[in-house]
């Protein structure tokens, strides 16, 4: 398993065993305490301002790894991942279940992150360790976690915008002062019977989860909400300017009512700094929250979409026919199209091949293209930290080809960072 990264690395979050930015894709390093088995597969990867989480699947179960700084408890309570307050420059096993008060055997199955906060969905492994009396009678643990629960979302790190789900609901609520988590906590999502987390996404300051249960899908969001990022009613008007709005500053886990026609389901969610995108199975896209940069203007004109992405101030769409569209902020050329085009979705020119997938970072876009049977990586937009992998730090207003070692298996975008899983051979 070969994982490569480039971009912002001031907190050693790229797992390269140093704290310097890198402008070309460089192979990640794992801590000596962990050896990835030959059958390991990457389920997901998220990276934010100072830390990264890597979720692996192996024949013996899922494994969660973390790298970067832990000064705010984003990789475990009070630096439980390591002994001192210092960056860990190599991916190292992380477990939040015990700290969160979970009894029995729990397995990480989903991950997400905001600026300095981590979220892990843990699923109770039935039959592997069910010996406690609490598990047998459904009693609650010492921290109020029902042992009968099958999935929970655990959060740790800062709570600046109520990301840990403890925020209030009034416009006058004060934003919490940044402080380290004493313990990982259970986000009070209030799962209904039989529900599990189907999709979990973190933006800069808010989180959205799509839950699936016997009655279908249900959407829950929490964190920053002043700009309507948790309220689909803002889709019709957007929040254009700063200042007072009718929205609460921060919100605890709140159900989001998405207008979905019978038989239509949610396929994906993408979060910007202050806006939310939802891709539906009929190929339509819904968006709400801030429209200050034009990131959701005329979004209802998009159709036949198969993939979406969101930068902090932009939205991106890949059609089933292979066309790519962008809208929103273009301060660093991240729209990858003519800047004089009107607000709203505009087409991005792809130099060659057919687009397989798109992945958005904080203010850059990654495009996986298949050309003559081989997958290639193209990138454009903000490049201050070398996060486009081009060997320099110049912004790119058009997508350009990136050199990738080996065959591409999957790509992720982070905060000024790019990650690529490839088939490259060991040195």
Residue 241 has pLDDT above 60, yes or no: no
Alpha helices in 60-196 (DSSP H): 133-137
pLDDT at 239: 62
Separation of CA 26 from chain center: 22
Cβ proximity of 4 and 405 under 8 Å? yes
**Pairs from 83-88 (Cβ < 8 Å, separation ≥ 24):** 87/11, 87/12, 87/13, 87/19, 88/12, 88/31
Report the candidate in 100, 108, 104 with the shortest Cα–Cα distance to residue 56.
108
Q: Is the pLDDT of residue 175 over 50?
A: no
Question: What span, in angstroms and rounded, lies between the C-alpha atoms of 244 and 69?
Answer: 35
pLDDT band with cut points at 50, 70 and 90 for residue 187: very high
Distance CA 220, CA 424 (A): 39
Q: What is the pLDDT of residue 13?
A: 98
Q: How far is CA 335 from the centre of its chain?
A: 20
What are 171's two structure tokens? 């416009």
The pLDDT confidence band at residue 376, using thresholds 50, 70 and 90, is very high
Percentage of the chain modeled with pLDDT above 70: 85
Q: What is the pLDDT of residue 85?
A: 59
Q: Which two tokens stand for residue 191?
A: 């799962």
Strands 346-348 and 354-360: unpaired
Rounded to the nearest integer, the mean pLDDT of the chain is 88
pTM, two decimals, is 0.91
- Give 77-122 pLDDT, tens digit per residue: 754 444 455 788 999 999 999 989 998 899 999 999 999 999 999 9
Mean pLDDT confidence for 160-165:
90
Residue 320: which pLDDT band, with cuts at 50, 70 and 90? very high
5-14, 84-93, 127-136: which has the highest mean pLDDT?
Answer: 5-14
Pairwise CA distance, residues 31 & 89, whole Å = 8
pLDDT, tens digit (0-9, with 9 covering 90-100), for 19-76 = 999 999 999 999 999 998 888 999 999 999 999 999 999 999 999 999 999 888 899 8
* Range of lowest pLDDT (76-90, 294-308, 412-426): 76-90
Give the Cβ contact number of residue 424 at 10 Å.
18
């Amino acid at each position: 398993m070969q994982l490569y990264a480039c971009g912002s690395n001031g907190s050693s979050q790229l797992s390269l065993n140093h704290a310097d930015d890198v402008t070309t894709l460089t192979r990640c390093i794992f801590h000596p305490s962990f050896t990835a088995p030959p059958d390991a597969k990457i389920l997901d990867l998220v990276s934010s301002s100072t830390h990264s989480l890597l979720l692996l699947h192996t024949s013996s179960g899922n494994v969660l790894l973390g790298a970067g700084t832990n000064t705010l408890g984003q990789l475990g309570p009070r630096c439980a991942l390591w002994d001192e307050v210092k960056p860990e420059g190599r991916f190292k096993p992380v477990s939040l279940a015990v700290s969160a008060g979970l009894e029995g055997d729990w397995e990480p199955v989903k991950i997400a992150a905001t600026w300095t906060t981590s979220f892990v969905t843990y699923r109770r492994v039935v039959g592997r360790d069910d010996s406690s009396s609490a598990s047998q009678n459904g009693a609650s643990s010492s921290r109020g976690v029902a042992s009968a629960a099958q999935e929970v979302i655990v959060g740790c790190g800062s709570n600046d915008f109520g990301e840990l789900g403890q925020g209030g609901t009034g416009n006058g609520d004060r934003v919490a002062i940044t402080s380290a988590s004493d313990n990982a906590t259970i986000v009070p999502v209030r799962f209904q019977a039989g529900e599990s987390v189907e999709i979990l996404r973190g933006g800069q300051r808010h989180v959205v989860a799509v839950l699936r249960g016997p009655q279908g899908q249900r959407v829950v969001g929490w964190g920053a909400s002043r700009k309507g990022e948790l309220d689909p009613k803002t889709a019709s008007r957007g929040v254009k300017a700063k200042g007072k709005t009718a929205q609460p500053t921060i919100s605890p886990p709140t159900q989001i009512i998405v207008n979905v026609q019978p038989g239509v389901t949610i396929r994906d969610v993408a979060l910007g700094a202050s806006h939310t995108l939802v891709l539906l199975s009929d190929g339509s896209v819904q968006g709400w929250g801030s429209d200050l940069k034009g990131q959701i203007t005329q979004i209802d004109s998009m159709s036949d979409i198969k993939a979406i992405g969101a930068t902090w101030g932009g939205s991106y769409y890949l059609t089933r026919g292979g066309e790519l569209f962008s809208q929103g902020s273009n301060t660093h050329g991240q729209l990858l199209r003519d800047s004089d085009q009107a607000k709203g979705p505009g087409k991005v020119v792809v130099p060659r091949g057919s687009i397989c997938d798109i992945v958005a970072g904080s203010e850059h876009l990654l495009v996986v293209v298949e050309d003559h049977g081989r997958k290639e990586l193209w990138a454009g937009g903000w490049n201050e930290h070398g996060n486009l992998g081009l060997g320099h730090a110049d912004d790119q207003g058009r997508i350009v080809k990136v050199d990738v070692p080996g065959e591409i298996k999957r790509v992720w975008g982070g905060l000024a960072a790019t990650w690529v899983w490839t088939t490259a051979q060991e040195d």
